[in-house]
Structure 1
Amino acid sequence: MTNTPHGLGPTRARVLALLQAATEPTSVVEVADELDLHKNSARFHLDALVDAGYAERAVNATGTQGRPPLVFSATSEAPSISNLHLTELVQVLISSFIEPTDDARARAEGAGRTWGASVAAQEQPSGEALSELAVHLGERGFGTTQDAASVTFTRCPFRSTIEPEQLPLVCSMHRGFLDGYLDAFGSNLVTDELQIGPKLCHATFEVASDDAERSA
Structure 2
Amino acid sequence: MGNAGYSAISNDSRVRILHLLQERPARTVSELSEATELHANTIREHLQRLIDGGYIVAATEHRTTRGRPRVLYTATGHDAASSPVAQRKAREAAIRGDLFRRLWPAATALPEEAVHQLDALVDDLEGAGFSPVVDEQALTVDLSPCPQAAAGARDVRCTVHLGLMDGVLTSACGPLRAQNIRPSERPTDCVVQLAVVP
TM-score for both structures, normalised by structure 1: 0.44
Q: Which has the larger radius of gyration?
A: 1
TM-score for both structures, normalised by structure 2: 0.48
Higher relative CO (CA 8 A, sep ≥ 6), structure 1 or 2?
Answer: 2
